[in-house]
């Protein structure tokens, strides 16, 4: 029998979580809005227009409901999302630069040289491509995929852009199925609408990047998690879904090593579901947590055991993974004590000038402790600066798609898009402000999504170096929380607030 003190403790813990999540959302959203408006006073007008727009959406929600309930709403939204991506790509004709051009350049290098003659680990015998893919194997696995497609369809980066669009459409269908399973078609179509028409993501489809693969398989892992939750009372079925969850998560982690934080999110979700009254049973919940850890780590080891030798054989050197460098990247400061990731570059230069990359990385590991120790008193400022870069700098897709074929930034092309980047930041900030209202439902969908979203953001801010594009990796979780939040604000009963377990029994 549940005691009164235990109920009070559960209520306190759930309230504490709501408070932490809300404060995090408020801090990031208002910081983004404040910095945007301070940088460009015209964005204050944009903010007012957006707030007025949200007011009308809530006020005339029945009209918008009819629009998204239209029989052909989903295919129209998908077609519109595809057309926008194609239009941006062919009109702006972006050139692939930086990390996004390495696979294409490497392909042509291999065609010119005929490949490598022998296997070596000596830095003096390695070229820049071997060093790059040895230190950053996630890009190496994407390179292997890209080169495979080149062999089938010819060496043209445009084929990877078309792959991005295909992946986006598949992800949209996963989102629709995931939301539709537990809510109305209106809310499901609205979620797809946000995903496919999100400005930065439309632009980002023009860049040869593994991010789209990561987003798809994270979406699939989230969808499978929800299926698992619906069947958690059936031990055999639940374990089957946890197994599939681990597979999808590890495929995503091939290109972005994120399974560690998802393991934590899974365990915390089990705890919060128990706190909010979910009848999971402590024994079953413990079994599922242990199983998730075992499956995820087992597949991580299996995938690594298969892929690392393949990449090593292709680049004819050992795969190393520059994890220590990412930590230094996240905690380097300039001479004035201000966060500056560029100051970490000297460590990777020292690494690449060592006898072998393995020896160089060992030196970097020794530097990590010294850098963190010396900059320990600056950690609050470093974290704030990283949060600023993560949530405010929404010009990244416009910047990376404004290069000419000569590798130089097209200032005219970029300046045409720059005025909109502040609006995108405000739009993103408003969605983040709405997200805490989703917690009113107390259902596992929202709990897992909120933990995954906030956990990933904290992982980026606290754990290592960041780029603004990293935020989009968990855009699906953000959309789920955003649409659930606006749904609760508008009081439209699209989402069934009954537990998923009772819904399963009815079926």
Encode pLDDT of 416-455 as tens digits: 887 788 888 888 888 999 999 999 888 888 899 999 999 9
Q: Is 116 exposed, middle or buried (0-12, 13-18, 19+ CB in 10 A)?
A: middle
If you average pLDDT over residues 44-65, what whole number do you get?
Answer: 73
* pLDDT recorded at residue 497: 41
H/E element, 27 = helix 4-39
For residues 491 and 17, the model is more confident at 17
Q: Please spell the DSSP secondary structure of 151-172, one letter per residue.
A: HHH-S-THHHHHHHHHHHHHHH
* pLDDT recorded at residue 2: 56
* pLDDT recorded at residue 495: 43
Encode pLDDT of 94-108 as tens digits: 999 989 999 999 999
Q: Supply the DSSP symbol for 145.
A: H
List, in sequence order, the alpha helices (H) in 393-497: 396-400, 411-434, 444-458, 475-490
Cα–Cα distance for residue pair 121/315, rounded to 1 Å? 11
Encode pLDDT of 374-394 as tens digits: 888 889 999 988 888 888 878
Going through 267-412 in order, the beta strands assigned E by DSSP cover: none
Tell me if the pTM is above 0.85.
yes
Pair of tokens at residue 78: 């998908």
Q: Let me know: does 248 contact 224? Beta carbons within 8 Å.
A: yes
* pLDDT recorded at residue 507: 41
* pLDDT recorded at residue 103: 95
* pLDDT recorded at residue 280: 63
**Would you say the C-alpha torsion 404, 406, 408, 410 has a positive or negative sign?**
negative
Pair of tokens at residue 438: 């989703």
* pLDDT recorded at residue 144: 97
* pLDDT recorded at residue 107: 96
For residues 40 and 229, the model is more confident at 229
Please tell me the least confidently modeled range out of 48-52, 57-61, 148-152: 57-61
Encode pLDDT of 4-23 as tens digits: 777 788 888 889 999 999 99
Give helix 137-153 / helix 235-255 axis angle, nearest 10°: 90
Beta-carbon count within 10 A of 76 CB? 13
Q: Let me know: does 332 contact 341? Beta carbons within 8 Å.
A: yes
* pLDDT recorded at residue 278: 62
Q: Is 207 exposed, middle or buried (0-12, 13-18, 19+ CB in 10 A)?
A: buried
Residue count of the chain, please give it. Answer: 507
* pLDDT recorded at residue 494: 43
For residues 488 and 314, the model is more confident at 314
Q: In which band, very low, low, confident or very high, does the pLDDT at 501 lie, cut at 50, 70 and 90?
A: very low
* pLDDT recorded at residue 58: 67
Encode pLDDT of 221-279 as tens digits: 989 998 998 888 888 999 999 999 999 999 999 998 888 888 888 888 888 888 887 65
* pLDDT recorded at residue 127: 93
Percent of the chain with pLDDT over 90: 41
Calculate the dihedral angle through the C-alpha atoms of 282, 285, 289, 291, rounding to the nearest 10 degrees. Answer: 110
* pLDDT recorded at residue 273: 85
Q: Is the pLDDT of residue 505 over 80?
A: no
Q: Is the pLDDT of residue 183 over 80?
A: no
- Across the chain, mean pLDDT equals 86
Please tell me the least confidently modeled range out of 100-114, 119-133, 150-164, 466-480: 466-480
Q: Let me know: does 234 contact 281? Beta carbons within 8 Å.
A: no
Q: Is 19 exposed, middle or buried (0-12, 13-18, 19+ CB in 10 A)?
A: exposed
């Amino acid at each position: 029998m549940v005691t009164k003190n235990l109920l009070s403790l559960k209520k306190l813990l759930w309230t504490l979580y709501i408070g932490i999540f809300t404060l995090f959302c408020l801090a990031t959203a208002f910081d983004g809005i404040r910095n945007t408006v301070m940088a460009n006073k015209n964005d204050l007008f944009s903010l007012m227009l957006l707030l007025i727009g949200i007011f009308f959406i809530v006020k005339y929600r029945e009209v918008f409901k009819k629009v998204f309930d239209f029989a052909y709403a989903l295919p129209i939204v998908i077609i519109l999302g595809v057309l926008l991506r194609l239009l941006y790509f062919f009109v702006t004709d972006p050139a692939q630069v930086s990390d996004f051009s390495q696979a294409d350049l490497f392909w042509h290098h291999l065609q010119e040289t005929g490949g490598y003659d022998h296997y070596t680990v000596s830095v003096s015998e390695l070229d820049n491509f071997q060093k790059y893919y040895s230190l950053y194997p996630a890009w190496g696995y994407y390179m292997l995929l890209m080169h495979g497609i080149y062999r089938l369809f010819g060496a043209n980066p445009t084929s990877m852009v078309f792959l991005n669009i295909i992946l986006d459409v598949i992800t949209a269908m996963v989102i629709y199925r995931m939301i539709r399973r537990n809510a109305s078609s209106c809310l499901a179509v609205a979620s797809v609408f946000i995903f496919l028409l999100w400005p930065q993501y439309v632009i980002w489809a023009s860049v040869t990047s593994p991010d789209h693969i990561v987003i798809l398989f994270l979406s699939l892992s989230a969808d499978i998690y929800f299926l698992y939750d619906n069947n958690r009372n059936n031990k055999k079925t639940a374990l089957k879904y946890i197994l599939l969850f681990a597979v999808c998560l590890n495929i995503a982690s091939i290109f972005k090593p994120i399974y560690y934080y998802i393991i934590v999110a899974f365990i915390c979700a089990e705890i919060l579901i128990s706190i909010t009254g979910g009848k999971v049973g402590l024994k079953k919940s413990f079994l599922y947590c242990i199983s998730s850890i075992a499956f995820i780590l087992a597949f991580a080891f299996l995938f690594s055991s298969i892929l690392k030798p393949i990449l090593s054989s292709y680049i004819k050197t050992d795969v190393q993974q520059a994890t220590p460098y990412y930590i230094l990247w996240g905690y380097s400061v300039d001479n004035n004590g201000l966060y500056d990731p560029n100051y970490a570059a000297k460590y990777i230069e020292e690494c690449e000038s060592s006898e072998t990359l393995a020896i160089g990385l060992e030196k970097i590991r020794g530097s990590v402790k010294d850098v963190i120790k010396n900059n320990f008193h600056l950690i609050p400022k470093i974290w704030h600066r990283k949060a600023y870069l993560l949530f405010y700098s929404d010009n990244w897709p416009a910047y990376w798609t404004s290069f000419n074929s000569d590798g130089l930034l097209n200032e005219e092309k970029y300046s045409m898009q720059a005025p909109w980047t502040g609006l995108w930041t405000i739009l993103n900030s408003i969605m983040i402000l709405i997200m805490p209202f989703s917690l009113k439902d107390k259902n596992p969908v929202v709990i897992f999504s909120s933990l995954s979203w906030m956990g990933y953001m904290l992982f980026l801010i606290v754990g290592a170096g960041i780029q603004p594009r990293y935020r989009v990796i968990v855009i699906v979780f953000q959309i789920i929380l955003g649409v659930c939040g606006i749904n609760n604000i508008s009081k439209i009963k699209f989402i069934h607030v009954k537990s998923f377990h009772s819904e399963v029994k009815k079926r």
